[in-house]
Structure formats: structure tokens, C-alpha cells
């Protein structure tokens, strides 16, 4: 593991949090990091719903079978894509742009000494529809993910998942 890339290798999914709140300044920094992500043709179709109300987080967690720990996180961030704003109105470009923003949030969380876990929403229709209905989203706004964020109550070792068997050079060769 290269020292310069340590931040990436230290980023792990954290599902246990202390009850310490996240400051407005930190939330702003996370959103700024998200919005610094690359976007196809600079269309920036990514939107966010910041959730710090326990009732809202509980309602959202109910749509996410693997995410009841969102209730324990002091902060949730829903990442949404605007199909009308995406390059070529393409769902694929919109999803790529949202994913880049999600990864920037996850890396910023690690840089700030916090913990986070990415909870998938898209492409599960029941999750998309649940969040769309709960937040009364227009049809062009697609829920892509929810990120639970907090001060970690667990630590995980840095690691790489590098697998040389999954790397090809200049052509596909078995």
C-alpha cells in the first residue's frame, strides 16, 4: 500500500456510530466535496437531501432493508439524480455522475475522521418508489443512494482488494 494513497485504503464501510452530532460546517464540507466530483459535460445533475431529523432517517431506513443503522447515524445524505439535467438526459450518465459524488463524500468522510456507509437505492424499484413518494420527488428526480454518516464507534483496518487476475493489459486475455 502506498502511503500517498492511504486515505483510499482506510475508507471502509462503518455501520456503528457514536451519538456525537455532525456540525453544519462539516456537512457543508461534505457537500462541497460531493459537488467537486466530475460530471459528464459538466451537467451536474446531482442533488442531495441532508437528513438529521430522527423521524426522517427512520422513515428512510424503513425503505432500506440493509440500513437500519441509519437510525443510529447522526446524519444521512440522500443522493439524487436529475434525469432532465443529465448529459443527453441519459440515466447512465446521471448514475455515473451521482456515483462520483458519492465516492467524493465517502473519501471526504474519511479525511475528516468520520465514518460512513453507502446504502444502495437504485436500481431497486421498491426503494426508489418509497423514497420518491416519501420526499414527494418529481418524476425526473431519481433516488440513487443514501449515505449514513457519523463519528465511528468501530474501527476497521486499512486494506486493498487488489486482485491481479482481474487486470488485463492491452487486450482481453484469459
88 φ/ψ sector (left φ>0, alpha ψ -120 to 50, else beta): left
Closest of 32, 64, 66, 68 to residue 48, by C-alpha = 32
> Which ranges of the chain does DSSP label H, i.e. alpha helix?
6-10, 24-35, 54-61, 91-111, 125-135
- 117, part of any domain: yes
- 132, part of any domain: yes
State how far the alpha carbon of 169 is from the alpha carbons of 164, 165, 174, in Å.
Answer: 11, 11, 11
> What CATH number is attached to the domain comprising 34?
3.40.109.10
What's residue 72's pLDDT?
Answer: 97
What's residue 73's pLDDT?
Answer: 98
- 162, part of any domain: no
Q: SS3 letters for 85-122?
A: CCHHHCHHHHHHHHHHHHHHHHHHHHHCCCEEEEEECC
Range of the domain at 57: 22-154
What's residue 174's pLDDT?
Answer: 72
pLDDT < 70 regions, the chain: none
- Number of structural domains the chain divides into: 1
- 142, part of any domain: yes
What's residue 111's pLDDT?
Answer: 98
Q: pLDDT tens digits for 73-97?
A: 999 999 999 999 999 999 999 999 9
- 32, part of any domain: yes
- 2, part of any domain: no
- d(CA 66, CA 149) in angstroms, rounded, equals 15
What's residue 56's pLDDT?
Answer: 98
- 161, part of any domain: no
Amino acid at each position: 500500500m502506498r502511503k500517498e494513497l492511504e486515505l483510499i485504503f482506510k475508507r471502509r464501510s462503518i455501520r456503528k456510530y457514536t451519538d456525537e452530532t455532525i456540525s453544519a460546517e462539516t456537512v457543508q464540507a461534505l457537500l462541497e466535496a460531493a459537488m467537486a466530483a466530475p460530471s459528464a459535460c459538466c451537467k451536474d445533475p446531482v442533488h442531495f437531501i441532508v437528513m438529521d431529523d430522527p423521524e426522517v432517517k427512520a422513515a428512510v431506513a424503513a425503505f432500506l432493508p440493509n440500513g437500519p443503522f441509519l437510525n443510529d447515524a447522526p446524519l444521512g445524505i440522500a443522493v439524487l439524480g436529475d434525469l432532465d439535467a443529465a448529459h443527453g438526459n441519459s440515466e447512465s450518465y446521471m448514475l455515473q455522475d451521482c456515483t462520483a459524488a458519492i465516492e467524493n463524500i465517502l473519501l471526504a468522510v474519511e479525511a475528516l475522521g468520520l465514518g460512513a456507509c453507502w446504502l444502495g437505492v437504485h436500481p431497486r424499484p421498491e426503494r426508489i418508489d418509497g423514497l420518491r413518494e416519501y420526499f414527494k420527488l418529481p418524476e425526473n428526480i431519481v433516488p440513487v443512494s443514501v449515505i449514513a454518516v457519523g463519528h465511528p464507534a468501530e474501527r476497521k483496518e486499512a486494506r486493498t482488494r487488489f486482485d491481479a487476475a482481474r487486470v488485463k493489459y492491452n487486450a482481453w486475455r484469459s
